[in-house]
Amino acid sequence: RRVLFRSRAHSLLMVIDIQERLAPSMAEPERIIKNTAIVMKGAARLGVPILVTQQYPRGLGATVPELAGLAPAGATLDKVHFSCAADPAVLARIEGARRDQIVICGIETHICVLQTALQLVEKGYRVSVVTDAVGSRRNADSEIAFGRLAKSGVDLVTTEMVLFEWLGRAATPEFKELQALVK
């Protein structure tokens, strides 16, 4: 049975490679960083574990400060594989979280995000890519990647879709806080 609804109790948020020397070369880096920050704040508020990766930080720099400050202690892992699922330490952290729904923000859509999502689907995870919180240098690369992801069973979602599915209902303190994030 295919689960279509994202649940905070089953989700893990992955923030892939939004780094100081890489992010500025993306199309619309401000959008990617802003929406990723919103998803990270929502995840933290709702108890969704967060994992942040950095591709070869010696060359590409650390996670951008706007997001690094939102990452829980010990949540950031360095990697050299394009796919997070191909990196033994990152995969061990994903498996250790014991969550079957992986929500992905990050860069670049057609490289690290795509390869991670496809490999996680192969491993049996339910994967969602937050389309307004990912990007590539060229928008055309992202568009092609979105098509391939959708054909492979990855859900294409938006920041608000994720937050409000995790939330599940209004009339809660969390609702007011999350609503304020997206206004």
Predicted confidence (pLDDT) per residue in 77-96, tens digit:
999 999 999 999 999 999 99
Q: Identify the pLDDT of residue 183.
A: 86
pLDDT recorded at residue 171? 87
Residue % of the chain over a pLDDT of 70:
98
- Is the confidence at residue 44, as pLDDT, over 90? yes
**Span 48-65, pLDDT tens digits:** 999 999 999 999 999 999
For residue 52, the cross-strand partners are 15, 76
Residue 17 annotated in active site? yes
Place of tokens 């892939």: 16
Q: Please check the confidence at residue 156 and state whether its pLDDT lies above 70.
A: yes
Q: Decide if pLDDT at 1 tops 60.
A: no
| Mean pLDDT, residues 61-73 taken together | 97
**Residue 182 corresponds to which amino acid?**
V
| Confidence tier at 4 by pLDDT (50, 70, 90) | low
Catalytic residue among 79, 84, 132, 155: 79
pLDDT at 128: 97
- Dist CA 37 CA 66 (whole Å): 7
Residue 65's H or E segment, with its range, is: helix 65-68
Rounded mean pLDDT, 7-22: 96
Instruction: Please give the order of strands across the beta sheet that includes 76-79.
Output: 76-79, 50-55, 11-16, 101-107, 126-135, 155-157
Cα atoms in the 13 Å half-sphere on the side-chain side of 58: 2
Q: What is the pTM of this model?
A: 0.96
d(CA 47, CA 20) in angstroms, rounded, equals 27
- Catalytic site residue 84? no
Query: What was the pLDDT predicted at 121?
Result: 97
Local confidence band at 172 (pLDDT 50, 70, 90 cut-offs): confident
Q: Output the average pLDDT for the chain.
A: 95
78 as an active site residue: the answer is: no
Catalytic residue of the set 105, 112, 132, 155: 112
